[in-house]
Amino acid sequence: MPKRIVIIGPESTGKSTLSADLAAYFDEPWVPEYAREYLEEIGRPYSFSDLSEIAKGQLAAEERLSQAARRFLFCDTDLRVIQVWSEHKYGKLDSWIGETISRRYYDGYLLTSIDMPWEPDPLREHPDPGMRQYFYETYHELLTVAQVPFLPVAGSREERLMTAVEWIQRLYQDPNSGNMRDIPEI
C-alpha cells in the first residue's frame, strides 16, 4: 500500500502546486481536488447535498490513482476539507462524511500556509486575510485534535517542496539502518 500524504489548507495557498511538485519529485501520482471538477460541471452554486457527492468523487479518484502508486499517493485535499467547509457554511456535517473521516487513514498531512498571495478564481470564496487565517487555524486545530502526523509548510514554492521532501524522508526513514526506503535524496 502506498503512503497517502494529504496536502491541506485554505483556498489559494498552493495545495495543487505542492501536490504536483511532490508527485513529480517522487515520480508518483497525485489526486487533484475533485470539488473543482464537480463545481465546474454542475454550473450552479453548490448546496449541502452536493458535499457528499464531492466526497464520494474525491474518494473514487483516490482509489483509482492509488493503483498507479508505488510508494506514495499525494492527495490535494481530503474529506476533512469538506468537513471544514460544511461546518462553516451550513453549520452541520453529513453523517456519512463524518463516519468516513473516522474510518479513513492517511499517513501524513502537509498544511499550507497563507503566506502565498491570493489568486482570484470564480470557485474561491474567501479572499479576506482574516478568513484565510481563520481557515488555516481551523485546519491546524483539526489536525492537532486528530493526532495525525502533520507539518505546516510556508515560503516560496521551492522552500515548500524542500521542506515537504525532507519531512517525508524523515517520516519514512528505516529506523534500523538509517537509510531511506527507496526514496531519492534531495
CA separation for the pair 109, 116 (Å, rounded): 18
Quote the pLDDT of residue 122.
63
140 has a pLDDT exceeding 70 = yes
- Taken in order of first residue, the domains within the chain and their CATH numbers are 3-171 (3.40.50.300)
CA separation for the pair 148, 83 (Å, rounded): 16
What three-state secondary structure class fits 8?
strand
Quote the pLDDT of residue 82.
96
Is residue 7 within 8 Å of 50, Cβ to Cβ?
no
183 has a pLDDT exceeding 60 = no
pLDDT grade for 184, boundaries at 50, 70 and 90? very low
Is residue 148 within 8 Å of 106, Cβ to Cβ?
yes
Quote the pLDDT of residue 117.
85
Distant-in-sequence contacts of 114-117, Cβ < 8 A, 24+ apart: 114/9, 114/10, 114/13, 115/154, 115/155, 116/12, 116/13, 116/14, 117/12
Q: pLDDT tens digit string along 89-129?
A: 999 999 999 999 999 999 999 999 999 987 766 666 667 78
Quote the pLDDT of residue 125.
67
What integer is the mean pLDDT of 81-85?
A: 95
Is residue 56 within 8 Å of 100, Cβ to Cβ?
no
> Dmax over Cα atoms in the chain, in whole Å?
54
11 has a pLDDT exceeding 80 = yes
Q: Which three cell numbers stand for residue 153?
A: 509548510
